[in-house]
Structure 1
Amino acid sequence: MGTVLTSTGVLVVFLMFITWLVSLRINDVSIIDAVWGTGFVLIAWTSWFLKTRSADAVLPAVLTTVWGLRLSAYLAWRNHGRPEDPRYAAMRRRHGKRFAITSLMTVFALQGAVMWMVSLPLQFSSKLHSDRGTVVLVGILFWVTGLSFEAAADFQLARFRSRRSAPDELLTSGLWRYTRHPNYFGDFCVWWGLFFSATGFGTPWWCIFSPILMSWLLMKVSGVALLESALGSTKPGYTRYVKSTNAFFPWFPRTDG
């Protein structure tokens, strides 16, 4: 197992370092977004190759591949031709000549560390345990729900942006009628699904800290919390939307808000 963990660690370091070099070349740190999903795909298949190379152990890697490549392709398409993410642009202005090393440590190294920790259930998975079929099915159900939410939310948001009449117009229909962040909720379900599925392939239950970490990041750090602070100051009517619609877990709109 040590060989797998070391190999994936080296892989992540190499991937983040190369991505950082590319970001310096194109002056755009946002490239990290498109690499995020692909990094998990590489980790999943590296773990599978080093541990089993068996067809009865391939499911976690396949699920990760479908999710990761779709996400990377979508984010690469979304970011193409757009200016650098405002968060990174602000960091670039703030740090000036020190931005290169600052971005390496606070963006690429940090996201690489998170990627490696969150992917531990994939790294520990091996062959299917015949007595854990139920938990695998539960995991697949979570994964399908999450992928469906994430893909549908990305499609609805892209369509809305192409048709809106003003930049500050607010999307409140489709999945956004039931949750203010359906794509983050989808990501949440995907990672719990991957964890449950992986436990059916020998992943120890202590690896539950990985989806817990991802859930915390999505809800309290880099996901909902970060986006809410920006939307509240740039979108007219957002306060009213907040009163009627759940932030994360989908539910019917509140009519008394």
Structure 2
Amino acid sequence: MSSPTPTDSKSSRSSLIAIIAALVIGALVALAGSQDGTTVGGIPLFALAVAAAFAIQIIAFIPAMLLQTERFFDLTGSLTFFVISAALVLLSPLPDARSWILAAMVMLWAVRLGSFLVLRVHKAGSDGRFDKIKGSPLRFLQVWVIQGAWVSLTASAAWIAISSDPAAGAPIGWLTILGIVVWALGMAIEIIADVQKSAFRADPRHRDEFIRTGLWSRSRHPNYFGEIVIWVGVFVAAAPVLVGWQWVALLSPLFVILLLTRVSGIPLLEARADEKWGERADYIEYRENTPVLIPRLTRPTVRATAG
């Protein structure tokens, strides 16, 4: 048995630091968001939700590591959103209409995401992102713990509002209605964009081509724009009942925006697209005339045919 190389040791240290950082962030968000919230057995309900989000990922990691598979990684994240949102509204002593609405918003989003990801995994098989890390327990654990942080931060606005003190509640007003409308708009945009891209890829004529029709003619990443709008809507609907440190819920839309525009979303896909089509004149034209995120309202000037 060979001894660990310096590269392996450095990678393990980085993974350990990432795991600790994710857990600390989760703990701090749980502490702040639990202020003036309801409790179960003396423990803040929101803190229990965050702890459960991490616990579910760590429990799921064990069989994933033993079986050396990532096939249920994305599904576990979606189920975590659904299960904890449902549990929160059921465990709240006096859930109001806003709590039920927020839980439904997150759960419907999770059902759509989960079904979409299950179909994608079924078609694609193994996920190449995990090939180099499944053999290292610490590195593999890292992505599961980070998923716990992703779930907790993304859902924080809804979960904090659901678990807030019923006595501090506010009636459904124009701001909550606005949040519902914004959420519905984001869902529609994301669903339409995903359906259009799936149909495009299913056509053999479009093999090795890039999509530039429908919503994709107005934005290079309309699905990500829809995702951001969804969580802005959730935050707006939750905002009327937030007090004090509970405003840490603002991290929900800000985290989604940062993640998709600066970390793992748009930057990775743009780099991949540039590598694949960067020397093609039609792709350069599309890239230069199509906004990266926020869809243009005017008719696009690039050609809408492909393949």
Q: Which bracket does the TM-score occupy, shorter chain normalised?
A: 0.7 to 0.9
User: Bigger radius of gyration, 1 or 2?
Assistant: 2
Counterpart check, 1:117 vs 2:159: no
Instruction: Provide closer, same or farther for how the CA distance between residues 16 and 238 of structure 1 changes in structure 2, counting only shifts above 3 A.
Output: farther
Counterpart check, 1:225 vs 2:267: yes
CA distance in 2, matches of 1:243, 1:28: 40
Q: Give the match for residue 246 of structure 1.
A: 291
CA distance in 1, matches of 2:63, 2:286: 39
Q: Give the match for residue 130 of structure 2.
A: 88
Instruction: Provide closer, same or farther for how the CA distance between residues 21 and 179 of structure 1 changes in structure 2, counting only shifts above 3 A.
Output: same
CA distance in 2, matches of 1:103, 1:32: 11
Counterpart check, 1:62 vs 2:104: yes
TM-score (norm 2): 0.74
CA distance in 2, matches of 1:256, 1:40: 39
User: Does structure 2 retain, via aligned residues, the 8 Å contact 1:37–1:69?
Assistant: yes
Mark the runs of 5 or more structure 1 residues left unpaired by the alignment: none
CA distance in 1, matches of 2:207, 2:197: 13
Q: In the alignment, residue 143 of structure 1 is paired with which amino acid?
A: W
Instruction: Provide closer, same or farther for how the CA distance between residues 6 and 22 of structure 1 changes in structure 2, counting only shifts above 3 A.
Output: same
User: Does structure 2 retain, via aligned residues, the 8 Å contact 1:244–1:253?
Assistant: no
Correspondences of 1:1-257 after superposition (within 5 Å): 1=37, 2-54=43-95, 56=97, 57-89=99-131, 91-92=132-133, 97-98=135-136, 100-105=137-142, 107-126=143-162, 129-130=170-171, 133-202=173-242, 204-235=246-277, 236=280, 237-251=282-296, 252=298, 255=301
CA distance in 1, matches of 2:284, 2:141: 36
Number of equivalences: 250
CA distance in 2, matches of 1:53, 1:65: 20
User: Does structure 2 retain, via aligned residues, the 8 Å contact 1:146–1:187?
Assistant: yes
CA distance in 2, matches of 1:33, 1:238: 31
Cα RMSD over matched residues?
2.4
TM-superposed deviation, 1:46: 2.5
CA distance in 2, matches of 1:166, 1:256: 17
